[in-house]
A = this chain, B = another copy of it.
Amino acid sequence: MTLKPSSVKGPLNGITVIDLTHVLSGPYCTMLLAELGARVIKVEEPEKGDVARQVGPFINGKSAYFATINRGKEGMALDLKQANDRSIFERLLEEADVLVENFTTGVMEKLGYAWEELHARYPGLVFASISGFGRNGPLAETKSNDLIAQSMGGVMSVTGPPGGPPTRVGVAMADMGAGIFAATGIISALYHRSQTGEATRVDISMMDGQVALLEHQMARCAVSGEAPKPMGNKHSSLAPFDVYETADGQFAIAAAGDKNFMEFAAAIDRPDLAKDARFSSIPDRVANTQALDAEIEPIIRSRSTSHWLEVLGGGELRIAPVLNVAEVMDHSQTRARNMVVTADDPDMGELKMPGNPIKITQFPDPLTRKPAPDLGRDTEAVKAELDHQMKENIE
């Protein structure tokens, strides 16, 4: 509460976060807090550090993965099993607003840092834990990771080609989902503290975070009595709504409403389709989606993607190319929104990484970030800051 604020301007300016997290769910959470103006001090085990430092891709022997998720944070190396380092850590907690950790449930208790103890000693400290399955229930102490949480949370069971196997989302969505929900919980707790003075305990589960995304799949399951299955790029209650193959690629189109479907049918020179009884309403088009595809697929496949984007785009229809990551990074909209930012790493050079999706107009949205810390980079500087602080308090 009295450490220097972050140099990043944002709504969380003045907040200090002590970050005991590793790999992705926790570091993604604290990265968001740093982007929003909190000062984040990452505390790692000496010598080993966050295991993400060992995960590729590597540039000049350093992990670009670690660097992406930990940009803008400070780094200390402290051994929480060693008395001297514990006292430094506890001095940090005295000055901090938030503690975040994502050890397996039980580890903080063994370290002597259970919520009850921390809350008694640091009554203003918000304490957030992220774990595979949360703090209670039969799986509370079971280890997890992104693949496990995607498998058990239901999203995998509805992702993939129609009739095909369940498919993992190609980004670590269970980790990041938990990280974003954790950030939301932490900021809510800070708001609550601002109103009441009370600090609270946030308990986030990766599996919960996946279940929370079953927006209408639970209802579908309840109504039909059957678990929904993967449907490729299609939608259960809208058509056409799919990715179609062209002569040289593919594009996505949603032309589900009656007016949109008429516009679409006219644009592909098949206005008759909009008058066809099989395709005359949304439910008709969903029921006869195979017949509809049999009519439109050959037409779309006869011309290039750019032809169709021009013919079908620019109006009321929702249509888009399917961009790969290189194309996304180079897209004029991505650039206009500062969604590719860079950090200048002393060993890796200039590294590109995703920007901040939470834009608040009154704050700057810079194109550069401070690089992620090498292990223990800021240990001495933060210790000196704490010492200075202590002297000032005495004087």
Contacts and interface: CB of A to CB of B under 8 A. Distances in A.
Please state the number of chain copies in the assembly: 2
A157 B324 contact: yes
B189 A190 contact: no
A201 B360 CA distance: 6
Given A148-B254, A155-B171, A323-B151, A65 B219 contact: yes
Q: Is the contact region of chain A dominated by helix, strand, or loop, or is it mixed?
A: mixed
Interface residues of A, number: 149
A197 interface: no
A361 B191 contact: no
A236 interface: yes
Given A147-B241, A219-B65, A236-B56, A328 B152 contact: yes
Nearest to A67: B219
Interface string A295-334: 0000000000000000000001011111111111101111
Given A57-B216, A328-B214, A169 B173 contact: yes
Contact of A65 (B170, B215, B361): B215
A30 to B, nearest CB: 13
A216 B36 CA distance: 21
Interface centre among A185, A227, A320, A332 (most CB of B within 10 A): A320
Given A201-B362, A208-B337, A222-B64, A322 B148 contact: no
A333 B137 contact: yes
B329 A221 contact: yes
Given A169-B159, A219-B68, A202 B237 contact: no
Cβ-closest 4 pairs across A and B: A137-B336, A158-B170, A11-B192, A227-B324
Interface of A: 10-14, 24, 28, 32, 36, 55-59, 64-65, 67-69, 115, 133-134, 136-139, 143-145, 147-148, 150-161, 164-173, 175-177, 180-181, 183-185, 187-192, 194-195, 198, 200-205, 207-209, 211-224, 226-233, 235-238, 241-243, 245, 250-254, 316, 318-329, 331-337, 339-340, 351-363
